[in-house]
Amino acid sequence: MDTKVGIDKMSVYLPHFYLEMEELATARGVEVEKYTIGIGQNKMAVPTIEEDIVALGANAAKQILTEEDKGAIDQVIFATESSFDYSKASSTYIHELLEIQPFAKSFEVKEACYGATAALQLACDYVRLRPNRKVLVISADEARYGLETGGEPTQGAGAIAMLISADPQIFALDMDSISITDNQFDFWRPNYSEYSMVDGKFSTELYKNIFTRIMTKMEATQPEKLKQLRAMTFHLPFTKMGKKALGSYEELADSVFNEEEKTALLNTWKSYFEESARLNKEVGNVYTASLFLSLVSLLIFAEDLKSGDQIGLFSYGSGAVAELLVGTIQDGFLNALNKDVIVQHFNNREAIDIERYEAIFNEAVPTDDSKTTIKGPIETAGFYLAEVDAHRRYYKYRD
Ligand code: COA
């Protein structure tokens, strides 16, 4: 039998502050239910100037790496669409901060929110050929649409780190997947623009359309495998999006399954949806990390899932590229994913009011060649952006 390859360790790291959607709704003169029910979000993570994508990613990865891992990692792949440099990859900083062995390579990948899935696939293929080596995949983003914009309630930030190895403890990925590319403008950010451009309604329709096209392809090519999927996780720019995707598959008239089979499949998937969206509701959009945050959420909260259960991962990146991955839960998943630590990390965050959120949102790293000590509004433990000097970013660690 082929060696199993996939996610051996996995961690989540969030900014210290968050804004309650209720606070945002009141400030923007919107009914709170629009955000909490209509969009499906409770809180929105708010990163400070110290908590850039490198700091978030390094803090996520630090939690999972042993000295042995650092010696076995051959690649550090950083997936993001919040990169602050056209050329230098965020993973070069991570490589140094975490003291990964010097002969590893480090690079960034990009395709909107799909990027981390591409990184994961690259990592798995590398390890399949070299089962005694490992790859570190980091996915970190800051979703910024701008104050008082239509996309504001779907902002968020955070990072997921995944260590990819043979015989993984958490989740083994199948080699087969179904991917799709469809050149569209639903969400994009030209290099000269600080904020994303989004056609939210079109993006929702495109996402649903692509999900149903992938489901149709899966039905046609691997119907038995599809029927065995215990749960389906989604890229969740806002949690209502996953419900909409399930609804679009339900409404799809043509199916190789009879009505009873399809209803049974959808009811099973629906029964796990709330657990798979629970963490995402508390963070907001984390772009590349959203799908993997949802996977963590499902694995720690769905109490009856067990080793051997197969899970679908629907990855969607605007622009648009999507892929359906299938993986199998492994024996050690509950030990490797420490639910108490994750829940505590979420609970240790601090709520801020609208004035503080807006002030933090407007803070920016200097763009001239001055030497500036970065001073955030709070000193949290871990890696942080400490200084910018002649356009170079420097990080420090605080106990
Ligand atoms: N109670 C309950 N639900 C309410 C409500 C209330 N008082 N008021 C409105 N709603 C519902 C609406 O019916 C709608 O639900 P539906 O989509 O199921 O029909 C939902 O809340 C959103 O309302 P809508 O008027 O469509 O909101 P909007 O015009 O402000 O746009 C987004 C919402 C999500 C489209 C917008 O925030 C956005 O574009 N975000 C970015 C999304 C993105 O990044 N996409 C690309 C990545 S995949």
Query: DSSP labels for 236-273?
Result: -SSTHHHHHHHHHHHH----SS-HHHHHHHHHHHHHHH
Residue 322 near ligand 1, beta carbon < 6 Å: no
Q: How far is the CA of 150 from the centre of ligand 1 (A)?
A: 9
CA distance linking residue 61 with residue 104, whole number of Å: 16
Question: Per-residue pLDDT for 44 more than 80?
Answer: yes
Q: What angle do CA 102, 107, 110 make, to 5 degrees?
A: 165
Domains for the chain: give ranges and CATH numbers.
5-170+338-398 (3.40.47.10), 173-331 (3.40.47.10)
> Average pLDDT of 205-222?
98
Between CA 346 and CA 25 the distance in angstroms is 22
235 catalytic per annotation: yes
Inter-axis angle of helices 259-281 and 240-251, nearest 10: 170
Give residue 2's pLDDT band: very low, low, confident or very high (50, 70, 90): confident
Q: Are 62 and 386 in contact (CB under 8 A)?
A: no
Please check whether residue 395 is in contact with residue 384, taking contact to mean a CB–CB distance below 8 angstroms.
yes
Coil, strand, or helix at residue 65? coil
The identity of residue 167, as a single letter, is D
Ligand 1 neighbour 40 (Cβ under 6 A): no
What ranges make up the beta strands (E) of the chain? Answer: 5-13, 17-20, 43-46, 73-79, 105-109, 134-143, 156-166, 171-181, 187-188, 197-198, 229-234, 310-317, 321-329, 350-351, 371-373, 382-389, 392-398
Indicate the Cα dihedral angle 294, 324, 135, 310, nearest 10°: 70
pLDDT at 288 over 60: yes
Residue 274 has pLDDT above 70, yes or no: yes
Tokens 């963490």 locate to: 279
Active-site annotation holder among 235, 275, 282, 323: 235
Give the per-residue pLDDT at 260: 96
User: Is residue 150 in contact with ligand 1, taking CB distance under 6 Å?
Assistant: yes
Read off the pLDDT of each residue in 237-255 and give the average, rounded to a whole number. 96
118-122: average pLDDT: 98
Is the distance from CB of 325 to CB of 173 less than 8 angstroms? Answer: yes
> Which atom of ligand 1 is nearest the CA belonging to 143?
44
Q: pLDDT at residue 1 above 60?
A: no
The Å distance, Cα 200 to ligand 1 centre, comes to 8
Check if 391 is active-site.
no
- Locate the ligand 1 atom nearest the alpha carbon of residue 207 and give its number: 48
> Which residue of 31, 34, 149 sits with most ligand 1 atoms within 8 Å of its CB, as the best mutation to test the pocket?
34
Per the DSSP assignment, residues forming a β-bridge with 384 are 396
Residue (of 309, 349, 348, 301) closest to 327 by Cα position: 309
What are the φ/ψ torsions at residue 317 (nearest 5 degrees)?
-125, 125
Amino acid at 184: Q
Tens of pLDDT, residue by residue over 293-309, are 999 999 999 999 999 99
- For the stretch 123-145, pLDDT in tens is 999 999 999 999 999 999 999 99
Angle at 181 between CA 228 and CA 4, to 5 degrees: 40
Question: Is residue 264 within 6 Å of ligand 1 at its C-beta?
Answer: no
Residues 6 or more apart in contact with residue 187 via CB below 8 angstroms: 112, 196, 197, 198, 199, 203, 318, 319
Record the pTM: 0.98
**Ligand 1 atom 30: residue of nearest CA:** 150
Give 207 Cα–ligand 1 centroid separation in angstroms.
14
Alpha carbon nearest to ligand 1 atom 9, residue: 34
Q: Closest ligand 1 atom, CA of 200? A: 39
| Of 58-62, 151-155, 270-274, 376-380, the least confident | 376-380
Q: What is the mean pLDDT of the chain?
A: 97
Active site residue 303: no
Residue 89 predicted with pLDDT over 80: yes
Gap between the Cα atoms of 73 and 176, Å rounded: 24
Listing DSSP states for 86-142 in one string gives SSS-HHHHHHHHTT--TT-EEEEE-BTBTHHHHHHHHHHHHHHH-TT-EEEEEEEEE
The rounded Å distance from CA 25 to ligand 1 centre is 13
Distance CA(17)–CA(348), nearest Å, equals 9
320 cis-preceded (ω within 30 degrees of 0): yes
Per-residue pLDDT, 55: 98
pLDDT at 157: 98
> What is the predicted pLDDT for the residue at 269?
98
Annotated binding site for substrate: 150
Q: Is the CB of 39 under 6 A from ligand 1?
A: yes
